[in-house]
Structures are given as structure tokens and as C-alpha cells.
Amino acid sequence: MRAHYRAEGLDEGDLAAHPMAQFSRWFEQAAQAAVHGFVHEPNAMVVSTADAEGRPSSRTVLLKQYDDQGFVFYTNYDSRKAHELAHNPYISLLFPWHPMARQVIVTGTARRTDREETAAYFRTRPHGSQLGAWASTQSAVISGRSELDVTYAELDARYPEGEQVPVPPHWGGFRIAPQTVEFWQGRENRLHDRLRYVAEPDGGWRIERLSP
């Protein structure tokens, strides 16, 4: 179980000045690879949080937006990750674009998006996903699948296709402000290129190379 990675590398001179601009370059390339069936769900990322005692947990979620301010995903605010972020805002994101021998690893802090931004995104979700946000008591123990299906059916009857579904008060987004962003490019002989942006106090970014 050993893959041989690509020969082409990642050089400091090729990087954008801002990590989000560099992320945009790589994300667009991953999205294009997805069009050709080479990468599956390029916006899937592993989100890692830790509770107040430092015990970590990870799960895969979908990136829904990114800009100069960072990365945004949406979730149930009663979920495990949301509860952990309420006590410990430090977070890590990992984009595993394995077919391209690339990873992007982010560390930073998370804060909730405002309700206006949350509502604007919620309106773009498919009808079934809007109902699902109400039906799921995310991370809570339930008696069985039937409990979830019955709740969804009741919501579907209350808000049939075409009717506006209200935004759940317990549901919304998190925006991750990056403190470090590492771009990992697989190379031959396990001598990978690892270039990391580190936020400076003056608002700039320092770029450093890490040993593989």
C-alpha cells in the first residue's frame, strides 16, 4: 500500500502573497479535476475540534464559502463540534485531495456567522436539506432510524415543496479565520513540499518551508 507521488513540486516563488488567494488557485484546480471524475467532492474537509479538556474529535463536512476572511461551513449549533467550539474556538481543517497528491491544512479560530448570512445561505439549500436541518437533532442519541423518518415526514407535510421553510434558530454557520495555512504537495521519495503561511501581528503573512 504505497503510492508514488508526482515529480512536480511547489516552490516559494510560485505562491500567492495571501494564503486565501493560493487556496483559491488550488481549489479551482481540484474543482476542475472533480469535473473529470478525478477528485470526489473537493469541498469536503476534515474538521477537528477539541473540548474544554483538550480531547479531540474529527468529522468530514462541506466547505460552503471561502474569501479573504477565511472558510465557512454550516451545522447544527447543538452538535458536538458546535458545543466544543463554544468552549474552545481553536479549530483545524484538512482538505485531502489525495488523487492530486495535495493537502491543505488550516489552523485558526471559529466564530458564528451572523443570522443574515446564515439565512441567505439557508435559502439556497434544496428543500429536502432545509427540512433535514429541522429534523436532525445532530449528535444526540435517538431510538432508531424511524424516529428520524417520522420527524422528516411531519415536516414535509407542514412545509411542502414550494413553501418557505423558516431558518432553524439552532442552525447556522462558522467562519474560520486562519492563523496558519499549509500547502502540502506530494513528491518522490517522500520528500514532499510543505509550505506554510503564518499570520503576523501586523496583518501580513510569513511563508516558511517545513521538512517533510
pLDDT digits (tens, 9 = 90+) for 143-155: 999 999 999 999 9
Give the pLDDT band (50/70/90) at residue 61: very high
Residue 191 known to bind ligand? yes
Residues 6+ apart with CB under 8 A from 54: 88
Q: What is the pLDDT of residues 123-145, one digit of tens each?
A: 999 999 999 999 998 889 999 99
The whole-number average pLDDT for the span 46-63 is: 97
CA distances from 128 to 22, 118, 133, 165 (A): 34, 17, 9, 10
Predicted pLDDT at 69:
95
Task: Round to whole Å and give the CA distance between 181 and 114.
Answer: 24
Interior angle at CA 62, CA 96 and CA 164, nearest 5: 170
Task: Round to whole Å and give the CA distance between 15 and 23.
Answer: 10
Residue 134 known to bind ligand? no
Q: Which amino acid is at 140?
A: A
Task: Round to whole Å and give the CA distance between 166 and 207.
Answer: 44
Residue 192 known to bind ligand? yes
Name residue 70's beta-bridge partners.
Answer: 67
pLDDT at 174 over 70: yes
pTM: 0.93
The whole-number average pLDDT for the span 89-113 is: 97
* Nine-digit cell string for 128: 429536502
The widest CA-to-CA distance across the chain, in whole angstroms, is: 59
CB under 8 A, 24+ apart: contacts of 195-203: 195/10, 195/12, 195/15, 197/18, 197/19, 197/22
Predicted pLDDT at 211:
97
The whole-number average pLDDT for the span 36-65 is: 97
Instruction: Name the residues annotated as catalytic.
Output: 190
Residues 6+ apart with CB under 8 A from 95: 27, 30, 42, 44, 45, 63, 102, 103, 104, 105
Q: Average pLDDT of the chain? A: 95
Give the pLDDT band (50/70/90) at residue 1: low
Nearest Cα neighbor of 70 from 196, 174, 177, 172 is: 177
Place of cell 469535473: 35
The whole-number average pLDDT for the span 177-197 is: 96
Residue 87 known to bind ligand? no
Residue 125 known to bind ligand? yes
Give the pLDDT band (50/70/90) at residue 8: confident
Predicted pLDDT at 68:
95
Task: Round to whole Å and give the CA distance between 105 and 45.
Answer: 10
